[in-house]
Structure formats: C-alpha cells, structure tokens
Chain A
C-alpha cells in the first residue's frame, strides 16, 4: 500500500495513503489504538469533507473489479469509516471508559474488503 496511488481527483488525500489505506478490519482496529487522538483527528478532518465526493465516485465502480487506484481509495475510506467513532461520538480520546479491552479481539479472515480484489 505504501506506494499505491489514488485516482487523480483525490490526489489531495495521497499523504494519508501510506499509514491509513489498510486492507482489513484488524489492521484498522490496531491502527486506531496505535495513534494519538491528534493523529486520528488530523486524518478524520482531512477525510470527512471529502467523503461525499469519494462515495459518489466509488458508487459508479464494482467492488469485484476495482482499479488499483480505486481499490486504494476504497481501503482508505474503509479505514476512515472504521476509525471515525471516537471523533464522531466525541470521546476526546481514541478509546473510552467502559469499553472492554480492545486487545482481546481476534479477527478471522473475513472482512468487508475480502470481497474486493486485494492488491
């Protein structure tokens, strides 16, 4: 993923690809709990205003036949969707009191992106 490119109309988001265009739920969950609230906030604030245009673009594509650039955009957007909860819900941190420890989760091979052709 490190060198993957986004579609040209979303090149403004290229800087986020290296660390955030992750291919499965487990990687995204680990990432969420490996960054500071500020780092998460920076990614969220960059992605949120671009979500409508991204989704408009991806809605014209097929999950089973994504171009390499669209696949990268798809993974980047999945990471945003899956790590948006602390920001959306105003936790003020990447985790919140009263949640069972995230490290306990074991993930089987299935994830949303398993239906997309992996790069």
Chain B
C-alpha cells in the first residue's frame, strides 16, 4: 500500500478544537459580541493600493458590521489616510462615488470642502458660523496602515497592537514586494444569506476541492502520489492560518486554456514547476516543489490567495448574523500585451466559476446548522485553519 501523503504542520495548534458548536455562534446576540470585540478591535482590510495609485486617488470602503463608510485617500504628500466618510458639518455622506481621483472633497449638501489630507479648507457662507474655527472641523481620522498592496484599518480608538504586531512577523515581513507590478483584474461583490464565519471557513480548507469542484477544475490539485489532495504545508498563528496546495503536474489544459496560456505566464489552474528564488519567504513557505498556490486566512475575515503570477483577496463582511457581503478582488502581473489580458480574463473567470461552487455551500450550511439537527461540527487536520479561526475568535471575545 502506498504511503499517505504527509502534511508538514507548523505553529502552535494546541488550543485548536476539532469539535465546534456553531449554532450558538450564529445568533443576533453573538453577532453583537463579534461586532464589539472582533470587528471594532481587529485590523481589517479596507482597500487595495491599486485603487490609490496617484496623489488624490480615493476609495470609499464600507465596513458593514459596524455600519460605517470610510474614505481612504492618498494625499498630496503620498501618505495614505483613512477618515469617516462623513461631512463634519451636518453628517451627510461626503463622497458618494466608490473610487476616483480628486484635488478636494466637496459635500453635496452645503458644499463644505475638505483637502485630501482631511483638513476643512472652505466653509460656504462662513460669516454665518459664529465661533466655528475651520481647523477644528476636519474629517474624523481612522487608524490606518499599509501592508504591501493593502490598506488595513482599525476602528478601535486606541488599537491594542499596531498592524505589524497584529499580523506577526511571518505575515508582516514574509511577503515583501510580492505585489509589485500587479494590477487589479477583477472586483466582484455578492450578498449571501449566510453567516460570515461560514463564508470565511469555506475558503480556509482544501479538503472539499476533490468533490465540489469537479465541474470546473477537476484535476488542478494533487496527483498520483496525493489522491486525497492533502496540503503539503499547513501553519497556524495567532491571527492567521495558511497552507500550500499541491499543484497537479499532470493537469490537462482545456482547449481554450491551452491556446491562451501559450502566450502568457502560468495562471490558475495551471501550476508548472517554478523557480521560486525571487519570491519572498512567505509565499510557498515550505518551498514545496509541486506548488500550486497558497491560502492565507488573515483573521477575522480576509482570505489572501497568492499564486505565482496573480493573487486574490476575498473578504467576508457580516451585515447581520445571517447576511454576508463578499468582496472578491483579483490581481495579476501588469502587461501591455493584449494576450496577457486575454489569458488573465480566462483565468479570472475560470476561478469565478470555481468560487460559485464554494458559495453554493454557504447558505445551505447555515440552514443546516440552524436546524439544530446536531450540536457540533467535526473538523479534520486538513481543516485546521477553521479550527484556528474559532480559536482566534474566542481569544478576542474573551478580552475585556
């Protein structure tokens, strides 16, 4: 009998549990705790730097669990700042368009104008405001830090940790410049009747791919020596979990895939051997030689998926305890050759169909859990990132 393909495990999983009671976590009362102790305290993914490329570029980022609209902007000094997207005069939503480039923000209500650094620069009919000084009425700032091509925010008035401390050195320092030269190639949003934890969980394990992805990517992972498609590498940390996938070296390209990838760098779902000497250490951390891609769960609600020539950030935002907004941002190497754009269009839409299979589990799983048919779900070692997700959640919920 052939030896089972072994996963290399890393990190401290001693506090992870393989039996989780989910139903108690999906109530309105529990969601209130998550809002206060997780979403108000954690560092959250708010924007991509590709949407903030020039001075004056801005991006409006909603934070659904906290019912907030944030304005992320690159100032004339190139600094990235985040503000509440609320006019300091009467509280109307200041910027109504999602993204763009501007020299200043003017509120549609009474035309108060703010600079890209958040200063109030003009009050219309100013003489009628008695005792109101402009310097006291700038936009309200939000804690904000840039990591690689992402902007994180923290809604805690006094964050308990900076982003480096929150992510830990493995993540914060492990991906230096990985996204250099990448461009956004897709930006999808969906609202599902599911709990945000289930959305995040569905993208935190590879156990399912042999089964539910047979219509879209039947042979992209594993291979003869790894029929169950075990993860080659799996690691858990305080606010992250990550694994590498086994790219099938005998993957058979479809006719269109073969034609378009003849003119591009390798893209999903084709993972040929790769020279990784120029990749930062966080990507394919164990340097597995038949690497496909990584999945990195950044707690609480981001799934980061680095590949050789592309990457994705998916985020799962609770609107309430049973409604979740999913954002799917995809990036690939920049190129001025039309054939690269065609190959990327092929890849991103193939992946979109795969994601539709993942999403198809999320609403019915919530229904199943809420039915109360049983008390706890059970999780395998290949699903350790899900175990770690609930461990991290419980650790934050236990804090004052």
Contact = CB atoms under 8 A, between A and B. Distances in A.
Contacts of B185: 110-112
Contact of B360 (A63, A99, A105): A99
Interface in B312-343: 335-343
Contacts of B115: none
Interface in A96-118: 96-100, 102, 104-113, 115-116
Contacts of A29: 349
Contacts of B256: 48, 51, 80-81, 84, 87-88
B190 interface: yes
Interface in B156-214: 183-192, 212
Interface in B250-264: 254-257, 259-260, 262-263
Contact of B339 (A59, A85, A116): A59
A38 to B, nearest CB: 18
B98 interface: yes
A67 B343 CA distance: 20
A74 B338 contact: yes
A64 interface: yes
Given A81-B349, A89-B254, A99-B356, A104 B191 contact: yes
Contact of A77 (B184, B186, B215, B342): B342
A51 B259 contact: yes
B359 interface: yes
Size category of the A interface is 35 or more
Contacts of B348: 25, 112
A5 interface: no
A96 to B, nearest CB: 5
Nearest to A73: B338
Interface string B209-246: 00010011000000000000000000000000000000
B148 interface: no
B188 A107 contact: yes
A100 B360 contact: yes
B357 interface: yes
A45 B13 CA distance: 52
A78 interface: yes
Interface string A69-83: 010001001101110
A98 B189 CA distance: 19
Name the prevailing secondary structure of the A interface residues: helix
A58 interface: yes
A91 B183 CA distance: 31
A62 B192 contact: no
B106 interface: no
A98 B212 CA distance: 8
Given A105-B190, A115-B183, A78 B353 contact: no
B119 interface: no
B346 interface: yes
A106 B188 contact: yes
Contacts of B339: 55, 58-59
Contact of B344 (A28, A96, A112): A112
A70 B255 CA distance: 23
B345 interface: yes
A78 B342 contact: yes
A13 interface: no
A74 B342 contact: yes
B24 to A, nearest CB: 27
Contacts of A111: 185-186
Interface of A: 25, 28-29, 48, 51-52, 55, 58-59, 61-64, 66, 70, 74, 77-78, 80-82, 84-85, 87-89, 91, 96-100, 102, 104-113, 115-116
4 closest A-B pairs by beta carbon, nearest first, are: A108-B187, A88-B254, A100-B359, A84-B256
Given A59-B339, A77-B342, A107-B187, 10 more contacts: A55-B259, A63-B336, A63-B340, A87-B256, A96-B215, A99-B353, A104-B190, A105-B352, A108-B98, A116-B341
